[in-house]
C-alpha cells in the first residue's frame, strides 16, 4: 500500500498541473477541473499495481472521459450544446446565450477558450483540446471518446472552423514555443522550484503589477522569488490561457480568479511578467468564466 501511495504521489506531482490545464480548457470551470483531476487520481489509486504502463497516458484518457461525462450532464453544464450525432445521439439545437445578455470583454482581454466553450459541442470540445492544444494523435483520441479516428478528425475540423469564425487567431491555439514555456513556468511555480523557474526566465526579466504603477522589478532571481511568494502557494492554481494570441496565465486562489499574468516570451525565455489584479480586468473575466467567481 505504501508503494502504491508513493507511486500515486509521484504521479500527482508530475502530472497534476498538466491535467488541470487539460480539464480547465474543456470545462472552463477551475473548480470542476480540479474535481475531475482528483477523481482521476482516486481511480489511479484504486487501479491494480502493474496494470498501467503509461500513467500519464492513462490519466489523460480518464480525465478526458470524466470531462466528457461532466459536459454531457445537464445539471453541470452552463449551456446545452448539441451532443455528437456520430455517437448516435439525436441532434438538437444549441441553446446558446443571447450575446446581448453576456458581459462582453474588449479585444485586449477576450479569451479564445470561452469562444470554444460557447460554440462547441462536448465531443467537439474534447477532440479540439486533445488534438489542437495537446497534440494527441487521432487514434488515441478515438479511444478516449469511444469513436473512430476519421470521426474524430471530422469533429476537430468542425471545431476548428467554429473557432476560426470567432476571429480569434487563425487556429485558436497559441504558438508551440509559448505553450512550452508557459507550461514550464506553471510546473516550476506549482512545485515551488526556483531553479526550474530561473530556467524559463530571461536573466534580465522584468516584473510589474498593475496595483503598483511605476514599480518594476528586474532580474530573474528577484522576479522569480516574487512570483513564487505570491503565486507558488499551495492554495494557488495556475492555468495557461492565451489572451488575444499572447501567452498568459490565469491564477486562482481557492478556486477564485485572483490574477492574470501576462507573459512576454522571446527566444524560449520569459522577458516580462505583467501581473493584473485590478477589478476592471478580473471582474469581467470572472463573469465570463462563470464558475470561477
pLDDT mean values, one per 10 residues, the chain (293 residues): 76 89 86 92 84 86 91 52 32 31 30 54 87 88 89 91 60 69 93 94 95 91 96 91 81 92 94 92 77 47
Q: How far apart are CA 258 and CA 46, in angstroms?
A: 34
Specify the pLDDT at position 91.
31
pTM of the model: 0.65
Whole-angstrom CA distances from 81 to 119, 120, 196 are 8, 7, 41
List alpha helices for the chain, DSSP H: 2-27, 30-46, 55-72, 112-119, 122-128, 138-145, 149-165, 176-191, 194-200, 220-231, 279-289
User: Which domains are assigned to the chain?
Assistant: 2-165 (1.20.140.160), 176-289 (3.10.450.50)
DSSP at 85: G
Cβ-Cβ contacts under 8 Å for 41 (sequence gap 6 or more): 8, 11, 12, 16, 59
Query: How long is the chain?
Result: 293
Which H or E run includes 266?
strand 256-266
Decide: residue 244, CB within 10 A, 0-12 exposed, 13-18 middle, 19+ buried: middle
Q: Cell for 76?
A: 453541470
Specify the pLDDT at position 153.
93
Picking from 201, 238, 236, the residue whose alpha carbon sits closest to that of residue 220 is: 201
Specify the pLDDT at position 223.
97
What is the separation, in whole angstroms, between the first and last Cα of the chain? 38
Amino acid at each position: 500500500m505504501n508503494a502504491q501511495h508513493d507511486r500515486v504521489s509521484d504521479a500527482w506531482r508530475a502530472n497534476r498541473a498538466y491535467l488541470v490545464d487539460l480539464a480547465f480548457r474543456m470545462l472552463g470551470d477551475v473548480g470542476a477541473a480540479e474535481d475531475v483531476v482528483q477523481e482521476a487520481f482516486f481511480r489511479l489509486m484504486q487501479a491494480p499495481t502493474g496494470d498501467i504502463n503509461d500513467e500519464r497516458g492513462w490519466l489523460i484518457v480518464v480525465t478526458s472521459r470524466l470531462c466528457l461525462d461532466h459536459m454531457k450532464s445537464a445539471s453541470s453544464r452552463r449551456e446545452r450544446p448539441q451532443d455528437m450525432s456520430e455517437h448516435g445521439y439525436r441532434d438538437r439545437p444549441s441553446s446558446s446565450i443571447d450575446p446581448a445578455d453576456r458581459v462582453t470583454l474588449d479585444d485586449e482581454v477576450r479569451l479564445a477558450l470561452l469562444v470554444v466553450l460557447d460554440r462547441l459541442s462536448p465531443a467537439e470540445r474534447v477532440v479540439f483540446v486533445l488534438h489542437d492544444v495537446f497534440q494527441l494523435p487521432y487514434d488515441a483520441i478515438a479511444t478516449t471518446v469511444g469513436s473512430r479516428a476519421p470521426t474524430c478528425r471530422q469533429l476537430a475540423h468542425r471545431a476548428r472552423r467554429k473557432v476560426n469564425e470567432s476571429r480569434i487567431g487563425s487556429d485558436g491555439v497559441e504558438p508551440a514555443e509559448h505553450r512550452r514555456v508557459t507550461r514550464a513556468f506553471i510546473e516550476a511555480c506549482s512545485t515551488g522550484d526556483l531553479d526550474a523557474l530561473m530556467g524559463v526566465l530571461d536573466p534580465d526579466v522584468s516584473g510589474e503589477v498593475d496595483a503598483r504603477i511605476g514599480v518594476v522589478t528586474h532580474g530573474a532571481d528577484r522576479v522569480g522569488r516574487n512570483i513564487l511568494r505570491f503565486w507558488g502557494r499551495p492554495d494557488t492554481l495556475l492555468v495557461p490561457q492565451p489572451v488575444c494570441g499572447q501567452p498568459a496565465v490565469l491564477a486562482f486562489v481557492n478556486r477564485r480568479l485572483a490574477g492574470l499574468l501576462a507573459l512576454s516570451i522571446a527566444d524560449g525565455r520569459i522577458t516580462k511578467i505583467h501581473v493584473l489584479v485590478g477589478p476592471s480586468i478580473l471582474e469581467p473575466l470572472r463573469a465570463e468564466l462563470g464558475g470561477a467567481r
